[in-house]
Amino acid sequence: MLVFGALGVLIVLIGLIIWLIISDSRNTAAVYDAQARADSLAIANDQLLLTNEFNQLNADFNQYEGQQIYLKNDSLVQQYNEARMKVEGLIRELDAEKRAHNKDMASSRAKIKQLEGEISTLKGIVRHYLEEIKRLGEENAGLKQEIAQVQEKNQQLSSQVTQATASNAQLTQTVQLAKKLNITNVSFHAYNKKGKNEKNITKARQLGVNFTVSPNNTAAAGMKTFYMRIISPEGALLGNGGTFKIDGSSVECTAQRAVEYANEEMPVSIYWDVNTTLTPGDYTVEVFADGYRLASRHFTMKK
């Protein structure tokens, strides 16, 4: 009986030991599974954070992508693209491992560590890139300011040249006017066939214009040709005394006379022989010389 009792107790002890072993094994497996899930979640979380950081870096870089014109010959863009490709490759590998339920946590952690390093490199490139963009932008702004200042100076210089040109033109005109002859005491007379003054214009056989040339030391001395124009009350030019130039145009005159001018006061008379019927009314008399109109007067002639 004792043998059977001892045997029963032994069986119970063996069963208890087996149960404890199985129970401990299950607890260990559960702990292992829980740790594995925790590690997997940690890796997934790290990957998510790094992916978000990578996307933000891309957004920051692309925001200034239009500024790459300033960096055409710079290696920053190439460095960034190479680093970005490495990061994208690591993210794809981690995604593939996650989809395949890969339990090699060490490999995933190694890739996470590598991903952290690549993103750190990417940060440095982006920071340098933005600093270069800012520096070049400031240089460009400074250059624009210098160009604006140069344009302003050129405009001021152009304005000064324009003013100087206008002043020179005015001075030239003043000098030319100073050389212009001046005449005074302009008179208009009708003469009969005896050469006497004729009050009745219809009986006139000759018309004459008299004037006095004033002294002018600025004017060039020498032969001067004076041109006379007589306009009838009907608006017709009397006579056919040839033409002369004024303001680039050829103008007809009634009569002309050349005299020697010595910069002294000098009386001048110009005559025209009547060859048409004259009528009473207002006659216009004009005198020209050296391309200038020296006088224009109106005279009323009666019958």
Q: Which amino acid is at 131?
A: E
What the chain holds in terms of domains, given with CATH numbers, is: 2-140 (no CATH), 183-301 (2.60.40.10)
Distances (CA, A) of 132 to 74, 76, 143: 10, 9, 16
pLDDT the model gives residue 9: 60
Mean pLDDT for 70-89 is 68
Question: What pLDDT is attached to residue 279?
Answer: 96
Confidence at residue 171, expressed as pLDDT on a 0 to 100 scale? 45
**pLDDT classification of 153: cutoffs 50, 70, 90:** confident
pLDDT surpassing 90 at residue 300: yes
pLDDT of residue 177: 46
Most confidently modeled of 77-91, 152-166, 251-265?
251-265
Please say if the pLDDT value at position 168 is more than 60.
Answer: no
Helices (H) and strands (E) in the chain, counts: 3, 9
**pLDDT score at 34:** 58
Average pLDDT over residues 90-100: 68
CB 254 within 8 A of CB 230: yes
Is residue 78 within 8 Å of residue 71, measured between CB atoms?
no
What mean pLDDT do residues 250-267 have?
95
Please give the backbone phi and psi of residue 210, each rounded to the nearest 5 degrees, phi first: -120, 145
pLDDT at 265: 94
pLDDT band at residue 239 under the 50/70/90 scheme: very high
Give the lowest-confidence range in 113-117, 248-252, 285-289.
113-117
- Under the banding of pLDDT at 50, 70 and 90, the label for residue 183 is very high
Where does the pLDDT of residue 79 fall: very low under 50, low under 70, confident under 90, or very high at 90 and above?
confident
pLDDT recorded at residue 107: 74
User: Over the chain, what is the mean pLDDT?
Assistant: 78
Per-residue pLDDT, 134: 74
